Amino acid sequence: MTIDSPGTNTESMAMSADTAGVAGVTRSRTTTILGAVVLAGAALWLFLAFGATDPDVRIVDGNEIGQFDAVRLMYVHVPAAITAYLAFFVTSVGSAMVLFKKSVWWDLVAGSSAEIGAVSAALALITGSIWGKPIWNTWWEWGDVRLLTTLVLFMMSLGYLAVRRLEGTAEERAKRSAIVGLLLIFNVILVNRSVEWWADSTIHQQSTIADAKIEDLKAFTLYYSILLGAAAYAWMLIHRFRLAWLERQYDRFGIDDAIVRRRAEGHTHSEGISS
């Protein structure tokens, strides 16, 4: 067999097409621009959080009180929590669309968003705990309604992701997970309103944003952090959606294609030996 035989060229082209461009398979012009914006925005975020804003210090009766530099944890904790709300809201919308329209696109969006939401909720819990230690003198309070409802929301999101992986037909799996996904939005409302509805059962402060408890640069930095969180969420969602699409395609066609490819490899290998 010679190098320029037509058969060899065709086979080698087919094989290289399979692995070509896999490194940036979820990347596009949109995600590249959005990713660059998020990265540049993150640099400004760090500057605002650590360089531009002052610590929380108030003078009362000649004594300095406040959160001091621990307040800088707000710029990472609040965006994490709000990104989780946003992600689970999208999951619930997607779940509704799955139930009413049986939409594949929305099913993948819902699943992708839930995974990002779970990561964000975990970060909200972790950063909240770290912030709570110096301010409340405790890492965790089991009787606190905000902490507990947030933990339940996180566990529910893991449950949703587990339900998506259960055995069954595509329709069964989509329907089951959509029902769980719809429940997430009710839990988001519960988490968000818990500090108002059960104010006596929480050490968590009420809404910083709604009650306008901070002003000027601190407020700007907080709003900016939330906006950056939303942009990072959008960037991640596009990538995660494209991965979900690949997972779906592999489930449907991957095994057949793998068999064909393996046969082609065996054929090429045997020809190589015989030549």
Partner 1 sequence: MTHVPYLIAGWGISLVVIALYAASVMRRSKRLAALVPVDRRRWMTGGDADVIGES
- Cα–Cα distance measured from residue 242 to residue 258, given in angstroms and rounded to the nearest whole number: 20
In this complex, which beta carbon is closest to partner 1, that of residue 104 or of residue 162? Answer: 104
Residue 148 has φ and ψ, to the nearest 5°, of -70, -45
Instruction: Establish if 25 lies at the interface with partner 1 (CB under 8 A).
Output: yes
- Cα–Cα distance measured from residue 39 to residue 232, given in angstroms and rounded to the nearest whole number: 9
Instruction: Establish if 122 lies at the interface with partner 1 (CB under 8 A).
Output: yes
Instruction: Tell me the closest approach of the beta carbon of residue 175 to partner 1, in angstroms.
Output: 8
- For residue 166, the cross-strand partners are none
In this complex, which beta carbon is closest to partner 1, that of residue 152 or of residue 243? Answer: 243
Q: Which stretch binds partner 1 (CB under 8 A): 21-29, 188-196, 207-215, 266-274?
A: 21-29
Instruction: Establish if 131 lies at the interface with partner 1 (CB under 8 A).
Output: yes
**Which 3-state string (H, E, C) describes 50-81?**
HHHCCCEEEEECCEEEEEEHHHHHHHHHHHHH
Q: Which stretch binds partner 1 (CB under 8 A): 117-125, 141-149, 187-195, 211-219?
A: 117-125
Among 17, 60, 210, 273, binds partner 1 (CB under 8 A): 17
Q: How many CA atoms lie within 13 A of 261 on its CB side?
A: 14
Among 100, 186, 197, 253, binds partner 1 (CB under 8 A): 253
Interacting positions 204-233 with partner 1 (CB under 8 A):
232
Site residue total, partner 1 (CB under 8 A): 56
Residue 64 has φ and ψ, to the nearest 5°, of -80, 120
Give whole-number Cα distances, 44 to 51, 53, 122, 165, 213, in Å. 10, 12, 24, 39, 23
The alpha carbon of 180 is separated from its chain's Cα centroid by a whole number of angstroms, namely: 18
Q: Which two tokens stand for residue 1?
A: 């067999």
User: How far apart are the two ends of the chain, measured CA to CA in Å?
Assistant: 6
Q: Are 72 and 49 in contact (CB under 8 A)?
A: yes
Q: Which stretch binds partner 1 (CB under 8 A): 73-81, 155-163, 203-211, 264-272?
A: 73-81
Give whole-number Cα distances, 100 to 67, 93, 107, 174, in Å. 48, 11, 11, 12
Instruction: Establish if 21 lies at the interface with partner 1 (CB under 8 A).
Output: yes
Instruction: Tell me the closest approach of the beta carbon of residue 156 to partner 1, in angstroms.
Output: 19
In this complex, which beta carbon is closest to partner 1, that of residue 254 or of residue 272? Answer: 254
Instruction: Establish if 78 lies at the interface with partner 1 (CB under 8 A).
Output: no
Instruction: Establish if 259 lies at the interface with partner 1 (CB under 8 A).
Output: no
Instruction: Establish if 246 lies at the interface with partner 1 (CB under 8 A).
Output: yes
Q: Which two tokens stand for residue 66?
A: 């406040």
Q: Which stretch binds partner 1 (CB under 8 A): 142-150, 179-187, 195-203, 242-250?
A: 242-250
In this complex, which beta carbon is closest to partner 1, that of residue 3 or of residue 29? Answer: 29
Instruction: Establish if 266 lies at the interface with partner 1 (CB under 8 A).
Output: no
Q: Are 131 and 174 in contact (CB under 8 A)?
A: no
Task: Give the sign of the dihedral formed by CA 8, CA 11, CA 15, CA 18.
Answer: positive
Residues forming the site for partner 1 (CB under 8 A): 17-23, 25-26, 55, 68-70, 72-73, 76-77, 80, 98, 101-105, 107, 116, 119, 122-123, 126-127, 130-131, 133-134, 169-171, 174, 232, 236, 239-243, 245-247, 249-250, 252-254, 257-258
